[in-house]
A and B are shown apart, each in its own frame.
Chain A
Amino acid sequence: EPEVTQTPSHQVTQMGQEVILRCVPISNHLYFYWYRQILGQKVEFLVSFYNNEISEKSEIFDDQFSVERPDGSNFTLKIRSTKLEDSAMYFCASRGMGADGEKLFFGSGTQLSVL
């Protein structure tokens, strides 16, 4: 089965530093998402992306966050100045069209630890 790939699997950073989380969605998918899960809490929607622009974003997705699709394969989440409360598991997901659009494919996540 096709996979969504996320790198790195773990990222440790100092507070105030910038981090970029990388995702390679499934190749023919058109809709991309970032979710996060703070340890012990619910999974939360961050942002959705379609046709090279943000289609929806949550209140969590403030000016410190940005997403980009720099080429035809990667989809990145950037946090400009990390805070302690940004420590979480970040999941990338993608969706296709038609019957394939009924299912969201998740990557295995990037565990971000802000010290």
Chain B
Amino acid sequence: AQTVTQSQPEMSVQEAETVTLSCTYDTSESDYYLFWYKQPPSRQMILVIRQEAYKQQNATENRFSVNFQKAAKSFSLKISDSQLGDAAMYFCAYEPSNYQLIWGAGTKLIIKP
């Protein structure tokens, strides 16, 4: 079965520091997408970053970058220079060939001023 695991229910980081959120997944497919979504208290789902499995290069979006290890089925999110506005729930999601996203349980990120 395809699953996504986020082993950190909650993480905290000092403002301006760097934090890494972990995600592992299980699949037998070779072609797929991986995503990190941010959900602030408003509960809107906001795409942070996307990674295509066939690309070896790690995706980067400004202060957000991923460490994609395909063989290990690992997809961690690094947030550099953390800001107060980064505080939210972060969800890792896997998209198989049927396009039905499979979601992790989420990590609550707390930013300490």
Q: Mark A92-105, 1 if CB is under 8 A from B, else 0.
A: 00010000001110
Q: Report the contact-size class of chain A (Cβ under 8 Å from the partner).
A: 20 to 34
Number of B residues, CB within 8 Å of A: 21
**By the criterion CB–CB under 8 Å, are B103 and A109 in contact?**
no
Residues of chain A in range 15-66 having any CB-CB distance to chain B below 8 Å = 31, 35, 37, 41-45, 48, 56, 58
Residues of chain B in range 83-112 having any CB-CB distance to chain A below 8 Å = 91, 93, 95, 98-106
Which residue of chain A has its CB nearest to the CB of B101? A45
Taking CB atoms, residues of chain B closer than 8 Å to A45 are 100-102
B44 sits at the interface (CB 8 A)? yes
A91 sits at the interface (CB 8 A)? yes
| B44 partner, pick from A44, A58, A108, beta carbons under 8 A | A108
Given contacts A103-B50, A106-B45, A108-B42, contact A56 B98 (CB under 8 A): yes
Question: Could you give 11 example pairs across A and B, Cβ below 8 Å?
Answer: A35-B101, A42-B104, A56-B98, A58-B100, A102-B33, A102-B52, A104-B47, A104-B95, A108-B42, A108-B43, A109-B43
* Chain A interface residues toward B at CB < 8 A: 31, 35, 37, 41-45, 48, 56, 58, 89, 91, 95, 102-104, 106, 108-109, 111
